[in-house]
Structure 1
Amino acid sequence: MKTLETKTKRFEDARPQLMGLAYRMLGVVADAEDAVQDTFLKWQAADLAGIRNPEAWLVTVCTNRCLDILKSASRTRMSYVGPWIPEPLQTETISIQEEDLDRAQSLTTAFLLLLERLTPKERAAFLLREIFGKPYDEVARTLGIKEAACRQLVSRAAKSVRQDQARFAPSAEQQEAFLAAFQNALVTGTADQLGDLLAETVSLRTDGGGKATAISRVLEGPELVGKFIARVLGRLWADARIERREVNGIGGLVILDADTVVTAMTIGYTPEGTVDRIYITRNPDKLRHLTAPARHDPATGGLRFH
C-alpha cells in the first residue's frame, strides 16, 4: 500500500508539468488530459525498481503518447471547417521572473500556432529542450534518436521560431490600451482609437469549427481588421456581456450568453507593442475550459486545473 501511495504521489507531483507539456504539444485540453491519463496508467503498471529517473520516464511516456495523438490529429485537421485555433484556456499566472519569460510566453495562442509549423518531433524536441530545459541527452533518449540528431532538430525548430515574433510579451499597459480601444470600437462603431495599435501585418481569424458562425478566411491589414471589429463585431456584440480575462497567459476577452462562454478572443503582439494577431474562437467544443482558471506556473511550465 505504501509503495502505491508513493507512486501516486510521485505522479501527482509531476502531473502539472506533464499537463503543461501535453497542452503545448497538442493545443487541445481533452487530448492533453488523455495523454497524461495514459501516462498515469502506464506508470501504475510499471515496476519502480527498473526506473532510475522517474521524472524522465514520465516525460518520455507522455511525450511519445502526444506524438501518437498528433498523427491522428493531423488527419482530423485536414477536414476541419475554417481556420483552426488552439483551444483557449482561462489562466491564472503565478508571478513571472525574468528567467521564466520563455515558458510564460510559450503558452500564448500565437506561440502555440507557431508550433503547428514544426514537425511533431521538432515540436517535442524544441519544447523539451528550450521551454522545459531538459538536457540534450535526455531529449534524445525520449525521442529515441541520437544526440547529434536531437541537436539538429532543436536547432532547426529554434531557427523557425526566431523568424517569428510570436513570443513577445506585451506590458500590462500595452494590453490595457488595446483592450480599451477594442471595446471603444465596439461601442462607437469606429476604429479611430485602434489605428495606431494595429500593426501593418495584423491578421484576424475566427474558429467556428462548423459548429458556430465564423468567417472562413483570414482578414489581413489594419483597415480591413479595424472595420470588421467596429462595424461587424460592434453590431454582433452590441448587447453581449463582455468580460476581460487572462487567456493563455495574456489579457483577452470572453463573450457570455447568460453564464455560458460563447466566444473567446486572444491576442498576439509585436515587439513594438502593436497587435498583429487577433484570434476569435467560437467552436463550443473549445470553450469548456473558460469557466475556471488553470493555474500556470512559469517557473516550471506546469498547468494545474482546479
Structure 2
Amino acid sequence: MNTDPLFEQHRPRLFSLAYRLLGARAEAEDVVQDAWLRWHGSDRAAIQDPEAWLVTATTRLGLDRLRAARTARRHYIGPWLPEPLEISEEPGPEQRREQAEQVSLALLAVLERLGPEERAAFLLKDAFDYDYARIGELLGHSEANCRQLVHRARTRLQAERPRFEVPRARHRELLARFMDASQSGDTGAITALLDSNARLVSDGGGKVTATLRPLLGAERIARLYWAVARRGLGLQARLGMVNGEPAILRHHPDGRLHSATLAVIDGDRIVELLTLMNPDKLPPA
C-alpha cells in the first residue's frame, strides 16, 4: 500500500491527468502506480520540484501507454468509447457539485481523435494551465512546436464540438423526451429531436449486440430504435448521470444495467448519441 504523504498529496492530480490521457480508469490507475514505483525508487534528495517530477513521470508513462492502447484498439470489435469514472442515479446537491468537476465522456470521445502528443499538449495547457515552456520540457519539444500542437488540437476540437452551448435544464429536457420517444419506438418524435446528420456510436466491445460502425442520419437512427422497441426486451429507462453529465440508463428487468446513453446537443437538436453497452465498462450487478 502506498503511504508516502507527498505522493498521496499529488495522487488526485496525477490520476486526473492519466485518465484524461487514456480515457480508461484501470489504465489510469496503472499509470499512477507506475509513477509511484518510479518515485519510490528515485533519489528524493536530488528532486527539487516533486510535483513537476511526478507530472513529468505520469505524462511520459501515460503517453507510452496511450500509444500502445491506440494500437490495441485497432483490433477492438466495433467503436471504442472511453470508460466512465462514475455512473449513478440522480445525485443529491453535494454529489452533483462533485460530479460537475468530472471530465465529460463526450469530451474524452473527441480527444480520442487527436494524436497522442497533441492530446497531451492540449490537456497540459487547457486542463492544467501549464505554460508552453514547461510543456516543451515534459514532451521533449520546442516551445514553438508545443504552441503548434495545442493550436492544432484546439482547432480540431472546435470543429468537432457543438456550436451552441445548451443549459443543463434544457439538455435534460431534450434527453428525457428522447428517452420516452426511443422507449416507445416513436420514429416521428425521435427524428424531430435529432439533427438530420446525427451520429450514433455504440460500444459493445464484442461482448453484446451493438452496431459495429457509427450509424449516420436521423432516419436510420430512428429506425434502429423502432426495431429495438419492437423486440420488446423489457428494458426500463430512467435518467441518471455519467461523469457528471445527464444520461439515459437502461436496465434489464432483473435490475442489471444494460446501457448508458449520452447525448451531444447543439442548439435544439441532438447531434450525437454515445451508448456504452460493453459490460466491462458498466458497473457490475
TM category (shorter chain) comes to: 0.7 to 0.9
Q: Is residue 119 from structure 1 mapped to residue 115 from structure 2 by the alignment?
A: yes
**Helix, strand or coil: the match of 2:160?**
coil
Please give the secondary structure, in 2, of the residue aligned with 1:34: helix
Assess, with a 3 A threshold, how the Cα gap between structure 1 residues 128 and 213 changes in structure 2: closer, same or farther. Answer: same
Aligned partner of 2:277 in structure 1 is 282
Distance, in Å, in 2 between the alignment partners of 1:127 and 1:79 is 26
Does the CA-based 8 Å contact 1:88-1:264 persist in structure 2? Answer: no
Paired AA for residue 278 in structure 1: L
Matched, 1:86 2:89: no
| TM alignment of 1:1-306, pairs within 5 A | 8-90=4-86, 92-94=95-97, 107-165=103-161, 170-229=166-225, 231-235=226-230, 238-257=233-252, 258-270=254-266, 272-288=267-283
Amino acid at match of 1:251: P
Q: Cα–Cα, structure 1 residues 210 and 51, in superposed 2: closer, same or farther, change >3 Å?
A: same
State how far apart, in whole Å, the 1-side matches of 2:20 and 2:164 are.
17
Aligned-pair RMSD on alpha carbons? 2.5
Maintained 8 Å contact 2:175/2:263: no
Letter in 2 for 1:128: L
Give the C-alpha shift of residue 117 in structure 1: 1.8
Paired residues of 2:183 and 2:237 also in contact (CA < 8 A): no
Alpha-carbon distance in 1 for matches of 2:79, 2:189: 28
Partner AA of 2:97 in structure 1: I
Per the TM alignment, residue 60 of structure 1 is displaced from its structure 2 partner at its CA by 0.9
- Give the % identical residues: 37
SS at structure 2 position matched to 1:163: helix
- What amino acid is aligned across from residue 27 of structure 1 in structure 2? G
Contact 1:125 1:154 in 2 (8 A): yes
| SS of residue matched to 1:66 | helix
- Structure 2 Cα separation of the partners of residues 68 and 137 of structure 1: 21
Name the SS of the counterpart of 1:94 in structure 2.
helix
Contact 2:239–2:248, Cα closer than 8 Å, also in 1: yes
Q: Across the two proteins, how many residue pairs are aligned to each other? A: 276
* CA–CA distance in structure 2, aligned partners of residues 44 and 83 of structure 1: 38
Look up the match of 1:298.
Answer: none
Normalising by the residue count of structure 2, what TM-score does the alignment of the two structures yield?
0.87
**Superposed displacement of residue 202, structure 1:** 0.9
Contact 1:111-1:167 within 8 A present in 2 as well: no
TM-score (norm 1): 0.81
- Which structure ranks higher in relative contact order (CA pairs < 8 Å, sequence separation ≥ 6)? 1
Partners of 1:15 and 1:201 in 2: CA distance: 42
Q: Structure 1 residues 259, 269: CA separation in 2 closer, same or farther (over 3 Å shift)?
A: same
Q: CA separation of 1:223/1:183 partners in 2, compared to 1, >3 Å: closer, same or farther?
A: same
Against the structure 1 CA distance between its residues 51 and 243, is the aligned structure 2 distance closer, same or farther, given a 3 Å change threshold?
A: farther
Whole-angstrom CA distance in 1 between matches of 2:220 and 2:264: 17
CA distance in 2, matches of 1:287, 1:167: 30
Q: Could you tell me which amino acid in structure 2 is paired with residue 255 of structure 1? A: R
Letter in 1 for 2:243: N
Quick one: distance in 1 between partners of 2:15 and 2:6?
A: 14
Counterpart-to-counterpart distance in 2, 1:10 and 1:242:
44
